[in-house]
Chains A and B, each alone.
Chain A
């Protein structure tokens, strides 16, 4: 396996063009934290983005951070924390910004902070045939042409190499508190009904965890509302959320996405966590049989169940408008240089 280690955007353009000329297939690699998400594919070389780690622009009053895509999350977090802000995604410190965008994992706080796709305002991308293009703008709202930055978000590196992005960031909450309850999905639904603007309501086989974030007095207020529904067995300030992720200790980890009311119908085994009101369920599985059962129940519920850690790929779901999907792949990566087959529907 060859390694390509570009230091500049120009290096990326040259590397991708050379790969086109030589017929060499590439896997774009950031922090390797989301590398398992995607269908198996054969490549001759890896293109590492980790040297592209400059800060291009950051002013807290703009609530926008422009950074190169190889920047590690830990470094971004430190920088944003100085402005008392955060990019609200869920990934370890050694993951890269580009990797998070390409894989678009859901945050346990998604109920409050939204999806990764809503935080990418502008992207610079080197397409599969080696063109440097930009879409979007460094402002929080814009309608200026086609939103290619939406297409590359979650595209698993199959359309282009994300080299730089403008991120919508948000204030760090003044206070955060996690309340744990004995109970299941039914209790979670009642808590969510009482505290609809919670940061997260996570249900696991061990109980329900309610995450509250915001102004200190606001968190107190929400806690009081939640206590009217049920008495918590524990309350912790400023703790990680979730406190533990037992599903990540299994060989296969799936991030299933279904309409929120259907998470209870998923066959998730015995190591799982589900976000009430969101429709995300993480499941830790032992192998292909459990995976097949989960996928079948996810399909039944009108959703998907891609593997995010371990073997198993994305699943057989054909993406909507498959002809359009195929034409997009062909337009951005005409020679099939970028991880062919890695994406949904074998793109």
Chain B
């Protein structure tokens, strides 16, 4: 049984009383992340150092509290929404850049450091950190690690996993380990690769060693606009089939273009059915060659205009519209819900048509802004949850959208994660044995089920059928979405 009061006293002693919150307002604030799910927690603790993280994990273990790691709380799948008597360990005060070593093409940073702050700090060295989620001003590197975050520029540069060399991770028993290596390969099984994307269920990431990527000497950002969504989608495939891997290929449909333009005044063509923002980078000659191929692919698919950003200011403006799109949809309705299924890119047009049909059937407004080059959809359903019955329609439509994407050979999540919101969809894509094997991986890190319980794996997924000790099964049997949690 959890002894919250004793845990609070021990945490206050270890971290200082100002770093531990237990008042009802604070508990309410930390009971959710950027998702639609609300949970509850017993205590909130702010770690300021690796030692603090170790103390939090040890104290939670000693007093029977589950641990829920949290960075900036921008997650969209409920991965850091706490459940029950949890201790929420917040790393948002751990924002230091510990060292930058251009000669090794690496930097060590604390997990609470905002993504954009890292990229900006590396710029004077001639390097950058490539993954750039739309929330990059706020979202933390630790959160990025835990969701294997993406962003527009993952098309050419790869997802977070490709950019993490090593992690200092505090395991659920309070021990700390360096997974991965400052060098290109490490001894043993690739535990670094498993912790990336594990949504805080294997341990708390206390330090991160990121790979530095050289800044490209030249960049060209283009806006292509189309009269038909199909032409826009076909252009994506045509660009890739031509052997060009742009730094980014982002698609926005009519509804989101209108909303973003109202907000950002980027000069987006509000009469277009859909637009693409394509960015190519490299040496000046590489940029020219790629831009030419992109234009040819677009013209073959009936592009109306090709607008090339003339300078850095115009480029920033084109991106501002894209990156603020999620905020801009607030003009349509106060709430939105989205999934981020990834689908084969050659089937984008057909799947978008299906998404529109589903939204129509449920009488919902859907807008699309997404990483088209990666096939990573983000259909945004806008609604007002105060209107009775609306939320139910949104969830039913979401369910159909997910099934449509999976039926087309897609993945449940491209970059947001599974968390609580998509947990019960997991059996759609994995067999019982697949999920059992995943439960074994989790058990290997966390034999007693202390870390972020009830996330990622649906109830019933357990390692028990494999060879692990049977007595541990009961502890791992995840409950259904618990009482008190609501979507």
Contacts and interface: CB of A to CB of B under 8 A. Distances in A.
A70 interface: no
B387 interface: no
| Most A-side CB within 10 Å, residue of B175, B284, B411 | B411
B164 to A, nearest CB: 11
B147 interface: yes
B177 A320 contact: yes
Given A141-B374, A278-B184, 8 more contacts: A115-B184, A131-B433, A142-B342, A172-B243, A197-B216, A215-B286, A222-B283, A321-B169
Nearest to B468: A331
A327 to B, nearest CB: 4
A118 B417 contact: no
Interface stretch (A152-160, A227-235, A284-292): A152-160
Interface in A212-233: 214-218, 220-222
B159 A304 contact: no
Contacts of A334: 466-467
Interface stretch (B190-198, B222-230, B259-267): B190-198
A118 B191 contact: no
A164 interface: no
Lowest 6 A-B CB distances belong to which pairs? A319-B188, A150-B193, A334-B467, A137-B411, A217-B285, A196-B214
B429 interface: yes
Contact of B414 (A59, A143, A258, A345): A143
Given A172-B243, A280-B184, A345-B188, A133 B437 contact: yes
A200 interface: no
Given A61-B241, A139-B414, A159 B189 contact: yes
Contacts of A170: 245
Contact of B426 (A145, A303, A314, A327): A145
A343 interface: yes
A318 interface: yes
A114 B244 CA distance: 18
B189 A325 contact: yes
Contact of A139 (B148, B343, B467): B343
A137 B429 contact: yes
A322 to B, nearest CB: 8
Interface in B80-111: 101, 103-106
B183 interface: yes
B333 interface: no
Interface of A: 59-64, 84-85, 104, 106, 110, 114-115, 117-118, 127, 129, 131-135, 137-148, 150-151, 153-155, 159, 170-172, 174, 189, 196-197, 214-218, 220-222, 255, 257-262, 277-280, 301-304, 314-315, 317-322, 324-325, 327-328, 330-332, 334-335, 343-345, 347
A144 B159 CA distance: 14
Nearest to B290: A215
A141 B376 contact: yes
A64 B346 CA distance: 11
A54 to B, nearest CB: 18
A61 B289 CA distance: 19
Contacts of B466: 127, 129, 131, 331-332, 334
Contacts of B429: 137, 144
A304 B463 contact: no
B132 interface: no
Contacts of B171: 321, 324
B159 A62 contact: no
B64 interface: no
Contacts of A279: 104, 183-184
Contact of B104 (A255, A260, A319, A335): A260
Contacts of B158: 114, 118
Contacts of A325: 188-189, 191
| Most B-side CB within 10 Å, residue of A189, A301, A322, A330 | A330
A129 B466 CA distance: 8
Interface stretch (B27-35, B351-359, B442-450): B442-450
B437 A332 contact: yes
A319 B283 contact: no
B414 A145 contact: no
Contacts of B39: none
| Interface footprint category on B | 35 or more
A104 B185 contact: yes
A347 B154 CA distance: 35
B58 interface: no
Given A118-B161, A196-B214, A331-B444, A62 B184 contact: no
Contacts of A214: 282-283, 286
Contacts of A320: 177-180, 186-188, 191
Contact of A144 (B180, B237, B413, B468): B413
Nearest to A63: B240
| Most B-side CB within 10 Å, residue of A85, A304, A320, A322 | A320
B414 A304 contact: no
B416 interface: yes
22 contacts: A61-B238, A85-B243, A127-B466, A131-B433, A132-B433, A139-B376, A139-B410, A141-B411, A144-B418, A145-B457, A147-B193, A147-B194, A196-B214, A197-B282, A218-B289, A257-B184, A260-B104, A321-B177, A328-B441, A331-B440, A332-B437, A335-B467
B183 A303 contact: yes
B415 interface: yes
Contacts of A60: 240-241
A172 B443 CA distance: 41
A304 B183 contact: yes
A145 B189 contact: no
B477 interface: no
A268 B433 CA distance: 46
B426 A144 contact: yes
A84 B443 CA distance: 43
B429 to A, nearest CB: 6
A146 B198 contact: yes
A302 to B, nearest CB: 6
Contacts of B148: 141, 143, 147
Given A62-B345, A215-B286, A135 B410 contact: no
Interface string B398-421: 000000000001111111111000
B109 to A, nearest CB: 16
Nearest to A159: B189
Contacts of A321: 169, 171, 175, 177, 179, 191
